[in-house]
Every structure is written in C-alpha cells, then in structure tokens.
Amino acid sequence: MTDPAKHSTHPALVVRLKRAEGHLRSVIGMIEQGRPCADLAQQLHAVEAAVGAAKRELIHDHIDHCLETRTDEGEDASAALRDLKAITKYL
C-alpha cells in the first residue's frame, strides 16, 4: 500500500522548492554584498512567487487526488468538504 500523504507530484514539488531555496540563498548573498534594494526586492518577489506557485500546486493536487479518492471510497462528502475548506484558507 502506498503512503496516502505522498503524492506522485511531490518529487517535482521538492525540485521546485529546492530551486527556490537556492534562489533565496543567492538573494541573501546579494544582501551581504550590498546590492541595491530594488534588485533585492525584485529577486525576493521572484522567490515569493515560486514558493506561492508550489503551495498552489500542492493544494490543487490535494483537492484533485485526496478529496476525490476519499469521496470515491465512500467517505462522507461533508468530511471531504470540511477538509477542502480547511486547506483552501492557505490559497
């Protein structure tokens, strides 16, 4: 039996987050080098967008797979709806 908390999209998500992590490290280096604030803000915006996109992908994957699977397996729809409401607050 596979781990229900691990999705097929998770490996790609890890790659995206590691890329964002590397980007953030480079921004920290830019700060330490005294780069202009406008450059820093632009790069921080890019890091923030990358993390936000990864979060949306995770949530959409959860909705597509976890909730659908749970209702297909006969779980009460109201429980799946509560889960959906709980996770969408992070969008």
Which distant-in-sequence residues (6+ apart) come within 8 Å of 39 by Cβ?
30
State how far the alpha carbon of 57 is from the alpha carbons of 16, 35, 37, 60, 67, in Å.
Answer: 11, 32, 30, 5, 15
Over residues 61-82, the pLDDT tens digits come to: 888 877 777 766 777 778 888 8
> For tokens 């480079």, what's the residue?
26
**pTM of the predicted protein model:** 0.78
CATH architecture group of domain 10-88: Up-down Bundle (1.20)
Domains in the chain: boundaries = 10-88
Over residues 24-65, the pLDDT tens digits come to: 999 999 999 999 999 999 999 999 999 999 999 999 888 887
For residues 41 and 86, what is the distance between their CA atoms, to the nearest angstrom? 31
